[in-house]
Amino acid sequence: MSRRYDSRTTIFSPEGRLYQVEYAMEAIGNAGSAIGILSKDGVVLIGEKKVTSKLLQTSTSAEKMYKIDDHVACAVAGIMSDANILINTARVQAQRYTFMYQEPMPVEQLVQSLCDTKQGYTQFGGLRPFGVSFLFAGWDKNYGFQLYMSDPSGNYGGWKAAAVGANNQAAQSILKQDYKDDATREEAVELALKVLTKTMDSTSLTSEKLELAEVYLTPSGNVKYHVHSPESLTKLLVKHGVTQPAAETN
């Protein structure tokens, strides 16, 4: 049945489904996972880097984490080329708002404007949906720290903890059991590492295979977006007992 209705994004099937949008969500299910956790003093984003070949030059720039504005960042799961277009759109919208109103754009308004763009690609013929899901982490003066998840259909929602990409169902169920409302940022990092260890396809977690970023307030009250370096990640993995410390060479 689906074969008759999946050639266009604009045609509903008799059951009321848009198959092309569902297929776009399936594409994300094969991508490296990303997890976001809201804590009382910040938001933690963690992403799994898929190392496809050991011959590949590892990127020095972030592959899963992107800064949109001083107060908003996002983690990506899905087709990276699609994500780059949307991230650039979001950055321009955030700067336009700041230029016009002289204050940072509210996080939900930014997410909603980006999701409006995504939704347009499910309603007009000749276009395909963006095969990418985002986790947005940010802070604004209206609602404090926030975490949003959006998918190719243009839907978005606010979450306390969310997972997208490969094995996201297993990750969500662990998060549901172990998430605490009053968790600190350090506890959120520990939980994120625990979830990724249990749901990742590879057996061992190393700093080359993941990216970790945090959004938090500095003592002076400014929003800070911080991406952990590989050295800092290795220390964290050892501290939380995910990997063994490297043997010292004489």
Assess if residue 35 is contained within a domain: yes
DSSP string, 156-180: EEE-SEEEESTTHHHHHHHHHHH--
Domain count, the chain: 1
Backbone angles phi, psi at 68, to 5 degrees: -95, -45
Kindly report the pTM of this predicted structure.
0.92
Assess if residue 243 is contained within a domain: no
Q: Would you state the pLDDT for residue 241?
A: 74
82 near 130, Cβ under 8 Å? yes
Q: Would you state the pLDDT for residue 244?
A: 64
Q: What is the C-alpha separation between 17 and 168, in angstroms, rounded?
A: 22
Q: Would you state the pLDDT for residue 250?
A: 45
Collect the ranges in the chain with pLDDT lower than 50: 249-250
Question: Where do we find the tokens 């949906």?
Answer: 129
Assess if residue 33 is contained within a domain: yes
Assess if residue 134 is contained within a domain: yes
β-strands 144-150, 42-48 pairing: unpaired
Question: Where do we find the tokens 């605490």?
Answer: 180
Assess if residue 2 is contained within a domain: no
pLDDT tens-digit map of 119-157: 999 988 888 899 999 999 999 999 999 999 999 999 999
CATH number of the domain residue 80 falls in: 3.60.20.10
β-strands 132-140, 144-150 pairing: antiparallel
- What is the extent of the structural domain holding 230? 14-49+60-238
The tokens of 109 are what? 């308004």
Assess if residue 246 is contained within a domain: no
Assess if residue 1 is contained within a domain: no
Assess if residue 155 is contained within a domain: yes
Q: Which neighbouring-strand residues pair with 158?
A: 148
DSSP 207: G
The tokens of 133 are what? 């899901």
Question: Where do we find the tokens 């986790």?
Answer: 135
Q: Would you state the pLDDT for residue 76?
A: 95
Rounded to whole angstroms, what are the CA distances from 96 to 100, 117, 148, 210? 6, 16, 21, 32
Question: Where do we find the tokens 């007992």?
Answer: 241
Q: Which helix (H) or strand (E) holds 132?
A: strand 132-140
